[in-house]
Chain A
Amino acid sequence: MTPARSSSAAGVYGLGSDIIRNLRKDFRVEFRSRFALNIAVSFAAIVTIAMSLTAGGAPFPAAVQSILLWTVIFFSAMNGLSHIFVREEDQATALFLRVSVTTDSIFISKSIFNQVFMMILLIVITPLFVFFLQVNVIHIAFFILSVAAGGIAIAAATTILAAMVAKAGGKGSLFTIISFPVLLPILWVSINSTTGALRQTAPSYDNPVFLLAFSGFISVISFLLFRSVWLED
């Protein structure tokens, strides 16, 4: 099956208007129920409070705090990022979407949605984590940059994986299973980066630069592959 209009025929203006239309629809549907956001934020809050409670105020070293932060972010993201595509399949709107708008506009709009979703998640999780786990952030601007760069990379890498999981019926923990190997380099570098922000020594900007470069690279690869995942024979 091919989309009703090709990207080249619709032109840049057509692509832009398709993206805005998709985004408007996605935000309206999501924030009407706030299902994915509620689940992801609630999960993050529960895990952070549980960690703080079980730790009983014991101070953790910078590396452990960083690992715990990214563990919370990873699992919270896994609870919500696949929803954007799984919902289309669950509500049987995927076929309508496939024939009414171009594949490129679908990928770009879903990517933007996931980036916004991830940023909202980070805005909630990070202060909560810093507050409950008594994290002493030395380099505040670098810490924000590290968390933001890691979040951008996670959202960029998982958008196409969410489409794959939706095609598989959104089964259970499949999204976490297939995302984990792809997200490992991101988590590895993000942990190093945020650890640097919690220490006295001047942090290296190599880590956030790597994360942003990785985001750009994986977004391009995902954009090229999306047609193979989204369109049906």
Chain B
Amino acid sequence: MSIKTIALKSVYILMPATILLAFLWAPPAAILGDSSRIMYFHVPLAWVSILAFIVSGILSVAYLADKKGRFHGLVETSYNSAVIGFVFTILTVITGSIWAKISWGVFWNWDPRETSIVIVLIIYIAYFSLQGALAGNENRGRIGSSYLVIAMITLPFFAFLVPRIYPSLHPDPIINKDRTVHLDAAMLTTLLVAILSFSLLYAYILFLMKRITTLKKRIGDYHAAD
């Protein structure tokens, strides 16, 4: 069994471990109480939403730079990453809304971080709309990749700049102006395990989608040769 397979399969251990740590081991937050446990799912989901988008963007750049077609399947992997990112973004919005309702009394209030995740969601929707409209076009991969590169330019503005410029109700446990961690050791450990688990889950789903794409291509080739 290769290191890659072991790393990907470790998600079967890490995901249940994350659930156990989040509900049984990590202490409840001082003011928020047990509702704070949603953080161990909401934060990793948001992290993977952005990670998937960045991976899609980087693969798009690589695909566009690869003039000789040396790296096959980059555009499919980029698309698959965007599909996973889209689902994770929706889950981020849902978990974030639940947490906002418990903490702030409203499901939505256009907090800078809420705004940034909605922008990522809109970018995904726009990308899929463009891909859908280009169905049957031979240049679909190149045009879609070009759009992702253009859209990626706006990401630093909304994902990193705006939440740090405008006042936010969001807690900032790890990245903040003090550059210190404002979390209890057990809570921080649980959060880091959760981030690792969700990142591996993303990689595992991406790997499975790549296998499905390859199988679909083989079946298509088989029927074409028949």
Contacts and interface: CB of A to CB of B under 8 A. Distances in A.
Interface in B113-139: 119, 122-123, 125-127, 129-130, 133-134, 137-139
B101 interface: no
A164 interface: yes
B142 interface: yes
A182 B154 contact: yes
Contacts of B150: 157, 160-161, 182, 218, 221-222, 225
B207 interface: no
Contacts, number: 77
Contacts of B62: none
B153 A218 contact: yes
Given A225-B149, A228-B64, A228-B145, A185 B139 contact: no
Going nearest first, the 4 A-B pairs with the smallest beta carbon separation are A168-B133, A181-B123, A225-B146, A228-B142
B145 A184 contact: no
B154 A167 contact: no
Interface residues of B, number: 26
Interface residues of A, number: 26
Contacts of B130: 164, 168, 174, 177-178
Interface string A205-233: 00000000000011001100100110011
Contacts of B158: 184-185
A221 B149 contact: yes
A168 to B, nearest CB: 4
B142 A182 contact: no
A180 B137 contact: no
B157 interface: yes
26 contacts: A161-B147, A161-B150, A164-B130, A164-B143, A164-B146, A165-B133, A167-B134, A167-B137, A167-B143, A168-B130, A168-B143, A174-B130, A178-B129, A178-B130, A181-B119, A181-B123, A182-B151, A182-B153, A182-B154, A185-B157, A221-B149, A221-B153, A225-B146, A225-B149, A228-B139, A232-B139
A222 B153 CA distance: 11
A157 B146 CA distance: 13
Contacts of A182: 150-151, 153-154
Given A160-B146, A160-B150, A178-B130, 17 more contacts: A167-B134, A167-B139, A167-B143, A168-B134, A168-B143, A171-B133, A174-B130, A177-B125, A177-B126, A177-B129, A178-B126, A178-B127, A178-B147, A181-B154, A225-B146, A228-B142, A233-B138
Interface of A: 157, 160-161, 164-165, 167-169, 171, 174, 177-178, 180-182, 184-185, 217-218, 221-222, 225, 228-229, 232-233
A174 B64 contact: no
Contacts of A164: 130, 143, 146-147
A64 to B, nearest CB: 16
Nearest to B121: A181
Contacts of B119: 181, 184
Given A184-B119, A221-B150, A228 B133 contact: no
Which of B64, B130, B151 gathers most chain A CB within 10 Å?
A: B130
A164 B132 CA distance: 12
A163 B155 CA distance: 22
A229 B143 contact: yes
B126 A180 contact: yes
A164 B126 CA distance: 12
A110 to B, nearest CB: 15
